[in-house]
Chains A and B, each alone.
Chain A
Amino acid sequence: MIERGERAARERKMSNLFDLLVAGLATGAIYALVAVGFTLLWQTSQTINFAQGEFVMLPAFLMLAAMHVGAPFWLASILGILLSMILLGLAFKMLLVDPMMRHGVLPLAIATMALAIGMKEAVKQFFSAEASPFPSIVPTGDISVLGHAVSLQSLGVLVVAILAVLCLTTLLNRTSLGHQMQAAAQNPTVARIIGVPVERMILLTFLINAFLVALASLLITPIYLAKFSSGEVLGQAAFIAAIVGGFNQVRGAIIGGLLIGVLDNLAAAYVSTQYRAAVPMIFLIAVILFRPQGLLGRAEERTV
């Protein structure tokens, strides 16, 4: 009797660990999407976008606004993604990055911080300071994986995020367009000489970043709810993920994102809820001390 009780408890612990891993991977996959955008912008235009978290917050509100005027959810999602690409891709580059870039990396980084504050306040002003519900693209419910009940929502988030990242890496590594983008990122001068339209490639990375954050927004908002401040946590997590993985590597950002997601969940469960936010930070410090180029990053020298 007691033995059976112990076995049940042990099984519960195992299945709990499994749940935590799945939930952590799902959140981590979203961090990864956001972190990939981070590294793309850095590689092609040395933009450190401190408004990246708010970039994830805003598309949800664009989609809600579209639904408000009567669009069904699927149409609102597409409209939201397109609008995000215009606002957070095109307009962001033309109106903020291009004019500020001339003054150097630091003024630009500070300008993105100002943008983050502006975006939060604008949403608060024009929408609401309170949270709003947001529909989920994945139905709720469970399916059985290896004898464990896994929530469809976690799995859906994970699958969509992995698909997006796979498409992106295929684009970057397998297509001529991707090679041109990489060339533009690695050595713009030489790329320009051999005929790569560097400016257009940079714009493309901004559009890809906008698409990724809009996708992340669509996936995370049903869980976090649409709120003006919901980008703060995400932006920070993605920033840490990008540094941990390697700021100059797309696959580094992916690994970093997943790692931070899982670490955060395990820390909350096995260390303490109060200190959960500190664990990724400690990990970050360890990485900066012992492997400053990040887990998968290349060492590079740059005068900042």
Chain B
Amino acid sequence: MKSTLLVGALLTAITTTGALAQTIKLADVAELSGGGATVGTNWKNGIDLAVEEINAKGGILGRKLEVTHADSQSNPGVARAQVQKALDAEPYVLLGPGYSGSVKVTAPLAAEAGITQIMGGEAAELTQAGNKFLFRTSFGQQSSMPKVAKYIHDDMKAKSVAVVWVNNDFGRGGRDVVIKELERLGSKVVADLSTEAGQADFAADVGKIKAANPDAVFVYLNEEESARILKELKRQSVAAPLMGETTLIGQKVIELAGDAANGARGHVGLTTDAPVDLIKGFRDRFSKKYNYVPDHNGLKGYLAVYMVKATTEKMGKVDPKAFADTLHGLTIKASEEPGILMDVSFDQNGDIDRQSFLVEVVEGKQVVKQVLPKLK
């Protein structure tokens, strides 16, 4: 009797210490301060929520998750140093950063260490460099722009389109893809207008749009410039419908542009307003834990952790070396892994394919008008 007890106690001790030693370590580097603080904080909170949920249900393959957070201060230089430090601790997977610029400088480090990086950046070029360890949590421009072009051609029935874009990497990247797609579908680009980052006066640009008299206008600028051009479009009474991306119909733009934002439409990869039950559930749990409604970065952080879970369970073992290979080409179904919220597929570049949403600004509020299907 005594010996059985002893053995039992010993066994418990061994398994507990074993479980402790076997936690799966994730490292997160995010914009926790500086200009991207909203992005990074949402991302971090999303991660923490997912980790808490998974651990409460017994972890992944019986092993608990453990995550460390480091602050990139929204600065690519600091991000690089923090990622190097995180990689030195040999995490299972690296999460973040959220800014494309920070991803660009840190991705080579993770690839060299052979550690998979799941990040928040959306610039097209990130996944074009042949990096075999980099994965997105949201659409890159090469996935979102074809959906935008399809909507302009099929739903807006626009035969002629004016394209206004901001002359930087972000704007040029989006402009190149959307124009190619529009022309492939048969919508004519009647005005191709580049504007400057920080531009204040859009009178001439809107004048040119008016002169071109298009069926639809595609606006691809940063938030502040979007607000200014929306005001100018209203001032010059341009009647053509406006289409954009998250940057045209975001909350900040609506706040800045006031009623000039009404009627603007945009393609949104992820939104917590999506008419999807699993996303509503996420939004409720998140708001309950943190007392505020998350933006899409909260969703991205949450999804990153569930990508780790689904991939690991697919492999049936915790194997950092085989992780990236398994995730390439993988389709994760929400019916099998509810934490992934919507069915998602990853291609060989780490790009994502998923349902997305068409949002319209109605009386100062974002309203989801349509669910756009996966591309493939």
The residues of A with any CB-CB pair to B shorter than 8 Å are 12-13, 16, 19-20, 23-24, 27, 129-133, 140, 142, 149, 151, 153-154, 222-225, 227, 229-230, 233, 264-269, 273-274, 276
Contact = CB atoms under 8 A, between A and B. Distances in A.
9 contacts: A19-B203, A19-B207, A131-B256, A222-B231, A223-B232, A224-B200, A264-B204, A268-B205, A273-B193
Contacts of A273: 193-196, 204-205
Contacts of A222: 231
Given A16-B211, A269-B207, A273-B193, A223 B201 contact: yes
A9 B239 CA distance: 17
A265 B203 contact: yes
B256 A133 contact: yes
A227 B200 CA distance: 10
Contacts of B237: 142, 149, 151
Nearest to A226: B256
Interface in B179-207: 193-196, 198, 200-201, 203-205, 207
A225 B211 contact: no
Contacts, number: 88
A264 B201 CA distance: 10
A159 to B, nearest CB: 16
B252 interface: yes
A222 B227 CA distance: 11
Interface residues of B, number: 32
Contacts of B210: 12, 16, 19
Interface of B: 35, 167, 193-196, 198, 200-201, 203-205, 207-208, 210-211, 213, 224, 227-228, 231-232, 234-237, 252, 255-258, 260
State the main secondary structure of chain B at its contact with A.
helix
A230 B200 contact: yes
A12 B256 CA distance: 30
Given A13-B211, A27-B203, A129 B35 contact: yes
A269 B204 CA distance: 5
Given A12-B213, A131-B224, A276 B204 contact: yes
A140 to B, nearest CB: 6
A151 B205 contact: no
Contact of A225 (B167, B193, B194, B228): B228
Contacts of A19: 203, 207, 210, 236
Contacts of A225: 200, 224, 227-228, 256
A265 B204 contact: yes
Contacts of B201: 27, 223-224, 233, 264-265
A140 B235 contact: yes
B204 A151 contact: no
Contacts of A264: 201, 204
A153 B235 contact: yes
A24 B228 CA distance: 16
Contact of A223 (B198, B207, B211, B228): B228
Residue with the greatest number of chain A CB neighbours at <10 A, chosen from B193, B196, B207, B257 = B207
Given A225-B224, A225-B227, A273-B195, 11 more contacts: A16-B207, A27-B201, A129-B35, A133-B256, A140-B235, A142-B237, A223-B235, A233-B201, A265-B201, A268-B203, A273-B193
